[in-house]
Amino acid sequence: MLRIYVLGIMFLFTFQLQAQDDLMAMLEKEDAKQTNYTLATFKGSRLINGQTVETIAKQHLNFWISHRFGAINSGFIDNFFGLDEARIRLGLEYALTDRLLVGAGRSTIEKTYDTYFKYKAIRQSNKMPVTVTAYGSVATNTMKTGYTMESGTVMRFNNNLQRQSFMGQLLIARKFSDKLSVQVMPTVFHNNLAENIYMENTQASMGFGGRYKLSNRVSISAEYYYNLIDKAEYEDESGQKYPYHNSLAIGFDIETGGHVFQLHVTNSRGMIEKHFIGQTIGTWQNGDLFYGFNVARTFSFEPKPKK
């Protein structure tokens, strides 16, 4: 009789395990049918100089302050290692939807106004390996004609159309884990007026970037833009020609509630694609580096729920 009880209990136990396995398999199939989107590939909508695939929540506003000091190798006595100089960009971006935002900014470099849009076309999920965001901008140089660029080139405009520059970019990113995110940024931009006869009006670049979280609030980030056209050269006052260089930046992101602080070092002085991709004259080898930071503050314009 005891044997019968033991066999019965073993049978019931085996049946229960089988039933649990069948139930788990059914739940896994149901989960596979649902689309689970990846969140927070990057913390902010800007990586360092360039953009990320991220947009912001609908009816939210981002206020960006970007700041670059002078070259670190400019000396202690004359320039206090670059801290005596400053270039600034102020920008606003507003989300029309959770996937579409528009923005505008103004840079002290060439007194440039820029407007742009970002649209998150594809989102990474359990069914899609990457996030893809389209990004486009228009920049307008408002300097008086005949001014001298930082490279030494004298720029003269015959009409206002020559002041315009256009940029198009695809941002393609994958979040590999909670800590690591990687992004590539194929880019094309066009200047209605080329800087000199040695430069093409239309130029292309391939960008690479990523971030690695060191803690819940701190991450290290980097980005690099490789220019695909070798004819980008500038000419100084003596007539000597020099090539523009690829942009490389390394920094830290620090999250503090509604603020994101980005501290970085880069060989680029500019803070929009026209400048940091197309007009980088500094090199890491020679110490032509600029310390800078970005600060972002987010404001919500969502209507408060009725009580």
Q: Give the CATH number of the domain where residue 45 resides.
A: 2.40.160.40
Alpha carbon distance 156, 79 (integer Å): 30
Q: How confident is the model at residue 198 (pLDDT cuts 50, 70, 90)?
A: confident
Assigned domain for 249 exists = yes
Average pLDDT over residues 253-258: 82
Assigned domain for 285 exists = yes
Three-point CA angle 273, 278, 281, nearest 5°: 120
The domain containing residue 114 runs over which residues? 37-300
Alpha carbon distance 217, 258 (integer Å): 12
Assigned domain for 274 exists = yes
Q: How confident is the model at residue 12 (pLDDT cuts 50, 70, 90)?
A: very low
Beta strands per DSSP E along the chain: 60-71, 87-95, 100-107, 112-122, 131-141, 147-148, 154-155, 164-175, 180-191, 202-213, 218-227, 233-235, 241-243, 247-256, 259-266, 290-300
| Best CA proximity match to 49, nearest among 265, 281, 285 | 265
Start-to-end C-alpha separation, the chain: 67
* Residue 205, phi then psi, degrees to nearest 5: -150, 150
Average pLDDT over residues 9-38: 60
Assigned domain for 306 exists = no
pTM of the model: 0.85
CA atoms within 13 A on the CB side of 39: 4
Question: Positive or negative, the Cα torsion across 76, 79, 84, 88?
Answer: negative
Assigned domain for 110 exists = yes
Alpha carbon distance 30, 180 (integer Å): 28
**What single DSSP character describes residue 282?**
-
Assigned domain for 26 exists = no
Q: How confident is the model at residue 15 (pLDDT cuts 50, 70, 90)?
A: very low
Q: Which two tokens stand for residue 57?
A: 């929540």
User: What pLDDT, on a 0 to 100 scale, did the predictor assign at position 74?
Assistant: 83
Q: Is 64 exposed, middle or buried (0-12, 13-18, 19+ CB in 10 A)?
A: buried
User: Into how many domains does the chain fold?
Assistant: 1
Alpha carbon distance 274, 277 (integer Å): 6
Assigned domain for 32 exists = no
| Secondary structure element (H or E) that encloses residue 106, with its range | strand 100-107
Average pLDDT over residues 131-152: 94
Assigned domain for 252 exists = yes
| Best CA proximity match to 130, nearest among 169, 179, 178, 184 | 184
74 or 188, higher pLDDT: 188
Residues β-bridged to residue 181: 175, 211
pLDDT digits (tens, 9 = 90+) for 162-196: 999 999 999 999 999 999 999 999 999 999 999 88
